[in-house]
């Protein structure tokens, strides 16, 4: 690997390590009992179980953490957090990892981050998701004309069943702008 690329990767590792510090604090009392893994409905699809993920976080292994599918597959159901015998905020910890991956624009998670961003943009504009607009925003953000092609059969089936309507994308009413601005300010300066 050329030295410039290696130094960029090293710098990114340092940033990720620093960003992991508050997540590690959330998990300090973990006793590795595995109840979270046993309770997680998505654990079978994850390449690293939730219990193992917490171990990686406690060890500060940013490289392995940000090469797993685990936090990206968390569906925020809160079952693990409800059952953890130490009462740890496990769903928040998974969300924090998602936020780090999005903030650092990590290539492996770009698709998921842009999907969430397009979803929230549609909610910001209209107070609810407009499916056609949401998917259009997502496809545009992916900047790859091949991405929409694989969704065409699904889109046709959903339209045939009346599950999605053709709506012209619009900027919306702007009534939620103040709310979104306030949430952003809280996120930037918690």
Residues forming contacts to ligand SF4 in the complex (CB under 6 A) are 30-36, 39-42, 50-51, 54, 74-80, 84-86, 88, 90-91, 94
Q: Which is nearer to ligand SF4, 48 or 135 (CB)?
A: 48
Residues 6+ apart with CB under 8 A from 104: 12, 15, 16, 19
Cβ 112 to ligand SF4, closest distance in Å?
Answer: 14
Residue with tokens 């300090």: 28
Q: Which is nearer to ligand SF4, 17 or 69 (CB)?
A: 69
Closest CB 35 distance from ligand SF4, rounded Å: 4
DSSP state, residue 176: T
Closest to ligand SF4 by CB, 74 vs 132, is 74
Closest CA to 86 of 34, 50, 19: 34
Residue 100 CB, nearest approach to ligand SF4 (Å): 16
**Residue from 135, 187, 126, 125 nearest 163 by CA:** 135
d(CA 38, CA 19) in angstroms, rounded, equals: 28
Q: Which is nearer to ligand SF4, 58 or 129 (CB)?
A: 58
Cβ count within 10 A of residue 175: 11
Least CB distance from residue 43 to ligand SF4, whole Å?
6
């Amino acid at each position: 690997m050329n030295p410039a690329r290696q130094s960029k990767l090293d710098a990114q590792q340092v940033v990720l390590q620093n960003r992991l510090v508050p997540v590690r604090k959330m998990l300090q009392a973990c006793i590795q009992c595995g109840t979270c893994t046993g309770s997680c409905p998505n654990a079978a699809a994850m390449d690293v179980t939730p219990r193992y993920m917490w171990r990686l976080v406690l060890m500060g292994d940013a490289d392995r953490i940000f090469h797993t599918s685990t936090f990206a597959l968390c569906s925020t159901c809160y079952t693990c957090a409800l059952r953890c015998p130490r009462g740890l905020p496990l769903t928040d910890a998974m969300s924090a990892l998602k936020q780090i991956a999005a903030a650092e624009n990590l290539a492996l998670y770009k698709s998921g981050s842009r999907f969430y961003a397009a979803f929230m943009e549609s909610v910001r504009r209209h107070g609810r998701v407009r499916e056609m607009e949401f998917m259009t925003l997502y496809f545009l953000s992916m900047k790859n004309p091949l991405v929409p092609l694989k969704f065409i059969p699904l889109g046709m089936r959903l339209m045939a069943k009346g599950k999605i309507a053709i709506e012209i994308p619009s900027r919306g009413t702007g009534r939620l702008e103040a709310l979104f601005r306030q949430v952003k300010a809280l996120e930037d300066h918690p």
